[in-house]
Structure 1
Amino acid sequence: MKVYLVGGAVRDRLLGVPYDECDWVVVGATPEQMRAQGFEPVGKDFPVFLHPKTKEEYALARTERKSGHGYAGFTFHTDPSVTLEQDLIRRDLTINAMAQTDAGEVIDPYGGQRDLAAKKLRHVSPAFAEDPVRILRIARFAARYHRLGFTVAEETLALMRTMVSEGEVDHLVAERVWKELERALGEPNPEVFIEVLRACGALARIMPELDCLWGVPQRPEYHPEVDTGVHTLMSLQQAVALSDDVRLRFATLVHDLGKGVTPKSEWPRHLMHETRGVPLVKAVCERMGVPKEHRELAVLVCEQHLNCHRAFELKPATLLKMLQKLDAFRRPERVRLFTLACMADARGRTGFEDKPYPQAAYLQAAQAACAQVQSQTLIAQGIAGKALGDAINKQRVHAIGELKAAVQAG
């Protein structure tokens, strides 16, 4: 029985970047031998075990064969005769198909070190095409390592295009798409994830509401970059610069979906695009099983981002209504995320990248001013029921009005 460190830990050690977990492959062992040594079995489709002390995953070397469509369409074979090379060749990328011995020797039968040096994301074998999830994974790796200069190899991109044209991507489970998107949004360059999916045609299949934004023009006086898709990814870059919160980044990604359904006769204007976009955002979230907090923020940013941009022009009562839609008095943290997403939108335009966005501080100050209104004081005055709600709103409007007057006075 031989044990090897495999996959991402080997790759990232060679790159000199931090990594969080170690995966191990065991060659020449049986499940019975693993259990006898105290390993805890956890794999359902093939034997994977947890180390009795470190709890790291140890998988028996295996081969796999395509037996259907999608991520689950495989049968696995494992026994002591399966070699390390046979196990490694079933992996997705050459840089992920390396192993390391206890002595530190790197075993690299498929050119992973060569591609690390060349900064290429290249598939190990034609078997890459059997699993559509690998399209999402390679796009995510491109987002992670873009800052190091990595790009997708041309032959791999061509294979991904073939997978899309042959319909393999259509078998992706929507929840798995969200899982990979969520992880990609946490990477240093999530816009690259979207760019790679567009380049191979997969984005049009898995998120057509977003893909259709490219080629949709906007008014150049407001959007010098003109193209809505370009603006969307510029906004996403700004969101990354502002926060590592994936909820914010997702909301920014989908904030302008409504522009994709603007009639061409109305181009380059997009009247009511925020209203048109809300059902599209909801549909994306429903289809992919997006978590509730992500979904709620995304809908609010889509619906209210223009109001945030116009915050200084809004009447105090209108601004209060926006805060109430944000549930700002029970969830003040949401105001911060909302305003950051709107700031990312405002700065995601050519020439506007460093422009101040005082609306964010103004909206947060308005929330804080309203929060000073104490219902207990009004209750002590004998006000109750609907009258209490009206009185609270009246005082909150007054508080916003005083804030607005102070801001206008400089």
Structure 2
Amino acid sequence: MTTTEGAGPPKFPMSRRPGCPFDPPDELAGIRETRPVQQVRNWDGSRHWLITRYQDCRTVLGDARFSSNFRLPGYPTTGPAQLASTWRSFINMDGAEHLEQRRVLMREFTRRRAEQLRPRVQQIVDDAIDALLSQGPPADLVSRFALPVSSLVICELLGVPFEDSAFFQDRSAAMLDKTLSREGINNAREELRGFLRDLVAAKEATPGDDLISRLVRDQVQTGRMTSVQVVDTSMLLLIAGHETTADMIGLGTAALLAHPERLAEIRDSDDPAFLANAAEEMLRYLTITQSGRRRVAVADIEVGGQLIRAGEGVIVANAAANRDPRHFAAPDEIDPHQKARHHLAFGYGPHQCLGQSLARVELQVVYGTLYRRIPALRLAVAPEEVRYQHEMLIYGVHELPVSW
């Protein structure tokens, strides 16, 4: 790809407007309405195509001619650490190789399996609220509720000791921090990989009733996967399984506290269908993957009237797509009555988020329980004092000081 300095295409990702932490950058809406397939500059100055309209985004994400392999020339990496990364998981594979490894995990993340876990998720959420209430206000909702809930759910599923949660939370956060040096991110990755390497070895010696043990028994011991592949898969599931859900809990609560009439509707409802739709609406409205979904074309293909040639990078701005007025009636509002199920917060196509059913159950339980059990929940600081994760690949709040 060509590089450019100074004038030229806008840099992506753009900055959010001050005072509007829940909205995508204003430039995205302008691009979507005037030139929906437009070149932008990446962190290293390389130029790639930015896709901003809902239907065009679905086209790219669903087309096998756009590759997820970040090692291919022209791929729009998220930063220098990814450029030098040796971590290879199934989300960066294509075709039969991707499908083979994804299929191994699919039965663990079906909608039915997620629903079977709902009673346990409910217990985890209730226990966390009990602890929150017993300790009293003020409290940081992220460290004392969102992270413990999401971490315990994924720990129990994978078979990771929950007492190690502070370790993997810290390393996960470092790996998602765009401001850290390549060395800092790689060190965090290798420390987490070493932790999981030891855990996989322990499962090989003494398996349990958990996902990692089943991968060892059914895949490693039969020669279908290597221990290294299990380690890298487990690292992906551990990071994605706690970080994104915790961010949606914290950021979603911040957004609802800023829209008390919507929070009241969710708090006062006992309709599971309404609460499920409210969770979908929060996912659409916030779209926490603020660096977009990234691909590289492996063939010439036209998208939105623009020819994209083989070897050219593409960034799918799902935050812009999820605010597209062509698809959503009230794109810039939180409306828990709006049918938002087909949002792109989980992506689309063959790489659609594997853990989406479990994430949905967690968010439905949290949104349906937290505000009902703590009806006087409110910010303990001025709204402008809340620190948002502008520097992270996944958007959220660093802390959410609350009282009641």
Question: TM class by shorter-chain length?
Answer: under 0.3
TM-score, structure 1 normalization = 0.23
Larger Rg, first or second structure (1 or 2): 1
TM-score, structure 2 normalization = 0.23
Question: Per chain length, whose mean CA-contact separation is higher, i.e. which structure has more relative contact order (CA < 8 Å, sep 6+)?
Answer: 2
